[in-house]
Homo-oligomer: A and B are copies of this chain.
Amino acid sequence: MSLEREEPTHFGAGPAQLPTHVLQQAALDLINYKDIGLGIGEISHRSKDATQVIEDSKTHLKELLNIPDTHEVFFMQGGGTTGFSSLATNLETAYVGKNGKLGKCGYLVTGSWSQKAYEEAHRLRLPAEIIFDSRKYDSNGKFGSIPNESEWSSNLNGDYAYVYLCENETVHGVEWPNLPECIVSNPNIELVADLSSNILSRHIDISKYGVIMAGAQKNIGLAGLTLYIIKKTILNDIQNANQTKLDELNVPVTPIAFDYPTVVKNNSAYNTIPIFTLHIMDLVFQHLKAKGGIKQQEVENELKQKSIYDALDSYPNFYNLPVDKSVRSKMNVVFTLKDSSLDGKFLEEASKLKLTGLKGHRSVGGFRASIYNALTVESVNKLSKFVKDFAEANSK
């Protein structure tokens, strides 16, 4: 029975490729963890070993992201979609706890994930509001750009329980290059951000966020687990919310398994935590620390995105890049062929070189190369070379 494999070059958008040696260690630990005679998935979530995995994961993440004492880390089952509802109801509860009245749920819509997050808040009967939808500011009426702050900051008015954004939109390949100043400089607004597809890919300043949510299945592990980083004052506000007031204002009750203070008080083990999945996440954290932390990863990610975008940009008559240069995602590189009759050939020839997972999202078409942390510079260079070779061979 072999645990070896050739290094994959899979550019799928997620669940995504993970470091091979992380999976090898996880495979061994699935059978016999630290020689206890049982796998890490077969022990109580309240056992010493499981608790240590939770503690280690938190410690390593705090080190990697330099998380200040003002913020708390916890883990919950689910992914982005689960987060949409729990963020909305927990944050509204916190706002009522602090202010005794409802606040608006503001959304900055730059792609289909932030759009879905808005829809869920609205569906839950919360006072959800789109602060801007980038399509309305885009010359093509599509997702692919982010308007300047000066164009939309005046839309902010009234009281917000929070303002939500998705830092990297995987479907459309749009990434916020910086956080909007009008939000982060406003002490009355909590920024809630979905970092599912770019967490740990670059330096971030945790102090600017009210809550960060990040599903595991892109940069940090298997599907089934989401990490949260939350300002401790928000947890307090949720706990201090007056039940009579919440009932009176008809704030939707968060299901107990997703009530943030309950999860934190129970060290992420109120609902049985998928400990094997968390262990893989921690192995990824350890892997990242060992290679030099975010700083080193960011250097590599910069090389990777430059390599592939440069290759595509070199053939402007052959490739089309629909996203504005200023907001191009460094994780999901979206492009199409000017001559779409070559689409099949492109995928086929890529596949022969074992460059897989390149098909674009069904709602966008074309191609998407997801170059998450686990993709090496060499792997991306291989793709860049193919991109150039294919253009050379097929340009008219």
Contacts and interface: CB of A to CB of B under 8 A. Distances in A.
Given A39-B18, A41-B223, A77-B82, A124 B257 contact: no
A188 interface: no
Nearest to A78: B77
Nearest to A253: B124
Contacts of A81: 256-257, 270-272
Contacts of A345: none
Contact of A78 (B23, B31, B124, B271): B271
A357 B48 CA distance: 12
B85 A255 contact: yes
Interface residues of A, number: 70
A185 B352 CA distance: 61
A85 B31 contact: no
A181 interface: no
A118 to B, nearest CB: 12
Nearest to A222: B41
Interface in A51-95: 77-79, 81-82, 84-86
Contacts of A123: 253, 256
Interface stretch (A1-9, A98-106, A140-148, A376-384): A1-9
Interface in A338-379: 354, 356-357
Interface string A24-51: 1011101110000111011111010000
A78 B123 CA distance: 22
A224 B277 contact: yes
A250 B252 contact: no
A13 B43 CA distance: 9
A17 interface: yes
A33 B201 CA distance: 27
A356 B49 CA distance: 14
A380 to B, nearest CB: 17
A277 B30 CA distance: 12
A125 interface: yes
B86 A255 contact: yes
22 contacts: A1-B3, A4-B31, A6-B37, A8-B37, A8-B38, A10-B38, A10-B43, A12-B42, A15-B42, A15-B44, A27-B30, A37-B356, A38-B356, A77-B82, A79-B271, A81-B257, A82-B257, A86-B255, A123-B256, A124-B255, A223-B273, A224-B277
Given A3-B27, A10-B42, A124-B255, 14 more contacts: A5-B31, A5-B37, A18-B41, A20-B31, A23-B41, A37-B354, A78-B78, A79-B257, A79-B271, A84-B257, A120-B255, A125-B247, A274-B274, A274-B277
Interface of A: 1-6, 8, 10, 12-18, 20, 23-24, 26-28, 30-32, 37-39, 41-45, 47, 77-79, 81-82, 84-86, 120, 123-125, 215, 217, 222-225, 247, 250, 252-253, 255-258, 270-277, 354, 356-357
